[in-house]
Amino acid sequence: MKPSSSTSRPVQKTLASAANLANLLPSGTVLAFQTLAPSFSNKGVCHLSNRYLTAWLIGACSVVCFLSSFTDSFTDSEGRLHYGVATWKGMMILNGDDDDDDEMDLSRFRVRLIDLFHAWAALAVFMAFALCDANVQGCFFPWAAPELVVNLPLAAGVFSTFFFTIFPTTRRGIGYSCQR
């Protein structure tokens, strides 16, 4: 039995939101952090220089994670794909001519309140993963029991997935397919 169009529309919207999680969750930043953290933190046996390197890594990945929430992509009327960063006034295009910027209405891509919530949620998820990493804990919190934070990344991921599904965004990151 084929579902009616009135019931399939919410289902399609929910599935589209769930599929959009790949570019909302900070998976690339977490992967980069997980790759670099063991060598920066000396596998959790930190000296002072390792603490500085690990703190720098967490800070740099946090900035990238937060700012990547404001990246977007779109195709113009001629079918060219443009990438940019949302600002309060519109979008700053990263690839393209300055002449193209004047012809397009980029104000529709300005930063909205939901973008700030998404950026903070993505940052919270990244920080949960980063601070619960065994190497970071061994470096900064050697006295802490690892059992205390074993479920924190899972809880942060579930909460943010729920948040991103309930409050979807139209932003597309750089490197993801553009269908608008």
Q: Where are the domains of the chain?
A: 27-166
Average pLDDT over residues 109-128: 88
Picking from 66, 90, 74, 68, the residue whose alpha carbon sits closest to that of residue 23 is: 68
- Tell me the percentage of the chain whose pLDDT exceeds 70: 74
What the block records as the tokens of 125 is 């998820």
For the entire predicted model, the pTM comes to: 0.75
Pairing of strands 71-75, 81-86: antiparallel
Q: Angle at Cα 153 formed by Cα 178 and Cα 10, nearest 5°? A: 45
Comparing C-alpha atoms, which of 138, 122, 152 is closest to residue 54?
A: 138
What is the per-residue pLDDT for 3?
Answer: 52
Both tokens assigned to 76: 């113009």
| Cα 180 from Cα 22, distance rounded (Å) | 18
CA gyration radius, the chain: 20
18-56 confidence digits (pLDDT tens): 555 555 566 788 888 999 999 999 888 888 999 999 999
Evaluate whether 25 touches 165 at the Cβ level (below 8 Å): no
Q: How confident is the model at residue 102 (pLDDT cuts 50, 70, 90)?
A: low
